[in-house]
């Protein structure tokens, strides 16, 4: 089958995030973030890795933008490090931090690439975490203030804005299970962290609009939840799980309500008024898609998640392995059709209330060989993106309004608790020399974009 033709104006992009690529954590007045703290705690991150140097993007952004220009992408999704701009999370703004993003944005514009900025890709200023982090309502207010500062400085050039990246992962991994910074394992008591991120999103959208910014959306992680069997118990477990990981984060934004009223009992504050703030009209909605999950009713002894980590006791569902699909080297099932299914479930649930969609992330980790003669053969990564784009095209053919696709990631980078072993990039990074080598997937993506 020849590669399908996407609609005119379809946006081809790649993505990254500040802590995963920048390094330079102590430079130009950057404050500490929860990830600096988390990485310093023994046993938290594979091999004791940290983002202190990462892909050294802070110093090499010109080289990286040149690679993006040659790749031919229409947009580059990056994140702005809150602790560079407001080192203590509130109060004084750090001009040198803002200057970095000003230079990056100018460099992108000069290369003809639309800047797409995430305001929060998980690097909460440590000073705010010390005051409760996202469990505290104040963090949402501080986030709105920070958004105003960035919007005023970059709003004339940034074309797409995403206040949040994947609030579900911050809530679950950061506050409920503790696999990610800030490493809290609060179970359902983590729900306020979801609510305050969503409130922060709403306040940030208001602040960005007030600063004259346009093209405002979100980058939210979603995927199908498959019941382990057709039994009523398994189906209802899957529905509960999907409410928690999908609709808890999309319904407030797109409908101004929570999917399960019993959840709101765990959320402090004026929830109804907050929901009105959260449901700011968006210009588009961004879906990060990696994989479906399968869950069954609790009671089968599955007290570990699919990656083997302990789950808190007493959950009304349990994850089951998806075994009938090939896996990436990270162990994630490769299910291209799951992307189309995700798009379909959004169309079904929200109908006319759904703004245009972008796929703001999709990608895979393979443990690529080192470059030989300037080449990194990574056919498996090509196959991944090829198959996901074909599935996405089928969804578009069915009538879905999907406007673009951002491959995760531009370059190899720091993969959170998994450190540097996982490689998601279209460009290989040798972390000893910081040499960049475009992989075969980079050349393939370039040819797709050029068509």
Query: Which segments are annotated as binding site for substrate?
Result: 20, 121, 165, 290, 408, 415-416
Nearer to ligand FCB, 153 or 180 (CB): 180
Among 147, 169, 254, 275, binds ligand FCB (CB under 6 A): 169
Nearer to ligand FCB, 240 or 288 (CB): 288
Report d(CA 424, CA 426) in Å as an integer.
7
Backbone angles phi, psi at 344, to 5 degrees: -60, -40
From the list 136-144, 164-172, 195-203, 302-310, the region that binds ligand FCB by CB under 6 A is 164-172
User: How many amino acids of this chain bind ligand FCB (CB under 6 A)?
Assistant: 12
Among 10, 120, 146, 408, binds ligand FCB (CB under 6 A): 408
Report d(CA 118, CA 224) in Å as an integer.
24
> Rule CB under 6 A: is residue 246 a binding residue for ligand FCB?
no
Instruction: Please report how close the Cβ of residue 338 comes to ligand FCB at its closest, in angstroms.
Output: 15
Looking at 107, 129, 166, 422, which residue is catalytic? 166
Beta bridge partners of 358: 286
27 catalytically annotated:
no
Q: Are 426 and 71 a contacting pair, CB within 8 Å?
A: yes
Among 38, 424, 442, 444, binds ligand FCB (CB under 6 A): 424
> Rule CB under 6 A: is residue 123 a binding residue for ligand FCB?
no
Selection from 48, 127, 122, 110 nearest residue 76 by Cα: 110
Nearer to ligand FCB, 137 or 291 (CB): 291
Collapsing DSSP to helix, strand or coil, 144 comes out as: helix
Nearer to ligand FCB, 17 or 75 (CB): 17
Order of strands, edge to edge, in the sheet holding 357-362? 160-164, 114-120, 75-79, 11-15, 402-408, 357-362, 285-288, 219-221
Distance of CA 234 to the CA centre of its chain: 28
Q: What is the largest CA-CA distance in the chain?
A: 61
> Rule CB under 6 A: is residue 346 a binding residue for ligand FCB?
no
Annotated binding site: 20, 121, 165, 290, 408, 415-416
Question: How large is the C-alpha radius of gyration of the chain?
Answer: 20
Report d(CA 354, CA 348) in Å as an integer.
9
Check residue 10 and give left, alpha or beta (phi > 0: left; psi -120 to 50: alpha). beta
Q: CA 381, 387, 389, 390: dihedral to nearest 10 degrees?
A: 160
Among 280, 288, 411, 441, binds ligand FCB (CB under 6 A): 288
What is the DSSP secondary structure assignment for residue 216, as one 8-state letter?
Answer: B
Collapsing DSSP to helix, strand or coil, 215 comes out as: coil
Burial class (CB in 10 A: 0-12, 13-18, 19+), 161: buried
From the list 162-170, 242-250, 259-267, 319-327, the region that binds ligand FCB by CB under 6 A is 162-170
Among 139, 221, 240, 242, binds ligand FCB (CB under 6 A): 221
Among 123, 129, 166, 368, binds ligand FCB (CB under 6 A): 166
Instruction: Please report how close the Cβ of residue 290 comes to ligand FCB at its closest, in angstroms.
Output: 6
> Rule CB under 6 A: is residue 361 a binding residue for ligand FCB?
yes
- Each residue 76-115 as x (binds ligand FCB by CB under 6 A) or -, in order, gives ----------------------------------------
Report d(CA 92, CA 236) in Å as an integer.
49
Q: CA 361, 367, 371, 374: dihedral to nearest 10 degrees?
A: -30
Instruction: Please report how close the Cβ of residue 351 comes to ligand FCB at its closest, in angstroms.
Output: 27
Nearer to ligand FCB, 197 or 288 (CB): 288
166 catalytically annotated:
yes
Chain positions 9 to 68 lying near ligand FCB, rule: CB under 6 A, are: 17, 20
Residues that bind ligand FCB (CB under 6 A): 17, 20, 165-166, 169, 221, 288, 361, 408, 415-416, 424
Catalytic residues: 166, 361
């Amino acid at each position: 089958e020849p590669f399908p033709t996407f609609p005119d104006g379809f946006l081809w992009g790649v993505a990254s995030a500040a802590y995963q690529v920048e390094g330079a954590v102590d430079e130009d007045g950057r404050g500490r973030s929860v990830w600096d703290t988390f990485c310093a705690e023994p046993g938290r991150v594979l091999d004791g890795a940290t983002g202190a140097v990462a892909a050294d993007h802070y110093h090499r952004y010109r080289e990286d933008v040149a690679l993006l220009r040659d790749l031919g992408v229409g947009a580059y999704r990056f994140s702005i490090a809150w602790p560079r701009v407001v080192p203590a999370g509130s109060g004084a703004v750090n001009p040198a931090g803002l200057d970095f993003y000003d230079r990056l944005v100018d460099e992108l514009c000069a290369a003809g690439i639309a800047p797409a900025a995430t305001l929060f890709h998980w690097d909460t200023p440590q000073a705010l975490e010390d005051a409760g982090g996202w469990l505290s309502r104040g963090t949402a207010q501080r986030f709105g203030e920070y958004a105003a500062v960035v919007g005023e400085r970059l709003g004339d050039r940034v074309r797409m804005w995403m206040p949040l990246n994947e609030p579900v992962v911050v809530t679950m991994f950061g506050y409920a299970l503790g696999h990610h910074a800030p490493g809290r394992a609060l179970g359902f008591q983590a729900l306020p962290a979801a609510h305050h991120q969503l409130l922060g999103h709403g306040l940030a959208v208001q602040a960005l609009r007030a600063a004259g910014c346009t093209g405002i959306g979100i980058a939210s992680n979603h995927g199908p939840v498959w019941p382990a069997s057709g039994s009523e118990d398994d189906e209802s477990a899957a529905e509960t799980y999907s409410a928690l990981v999908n609709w808890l984060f999309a319904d407030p934004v797109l409908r101004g309500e929570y999917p399960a009223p019993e959840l709101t009992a765990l959320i402090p504050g004026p929830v109804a008024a907050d929901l009105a703030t959260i449901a700011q009209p968006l210009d588009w909605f961004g879906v990060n898609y990696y994989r479906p999950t399968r869950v069954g009713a609790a009671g089968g002894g599955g007290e570990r998640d699919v990656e083997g980590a302990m789950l808190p006791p007493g959950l009304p569902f349990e994850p089951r392995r998806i075994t009938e699909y090939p896996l990436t080297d990270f162990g994630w099932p490769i299910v291209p059709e799951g992307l189309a299914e995700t798009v379909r479930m959004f169309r079904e649930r929200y109908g006319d209330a759904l703004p245009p969609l972008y796929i703001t992330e999709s990608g895979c980790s393979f443990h690529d060989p080192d470059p030989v003669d300037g080449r990194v053969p990574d056919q498996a990564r090509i196959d991944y993106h090829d198959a996901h784009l074909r599935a996405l095209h089928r969804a578009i053919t069915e009538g879905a309004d999907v406007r673009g696709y951002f491959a995760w990631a531009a370059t190899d980078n720091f993969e959170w608790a998994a450190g540097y072993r996982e490689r998601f990039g279209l460009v290989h990074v040798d972390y000893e020399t910081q040499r960049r080598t475009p992989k075969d997937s980079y050349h393939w993506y370039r040819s797709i974009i050029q068509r």
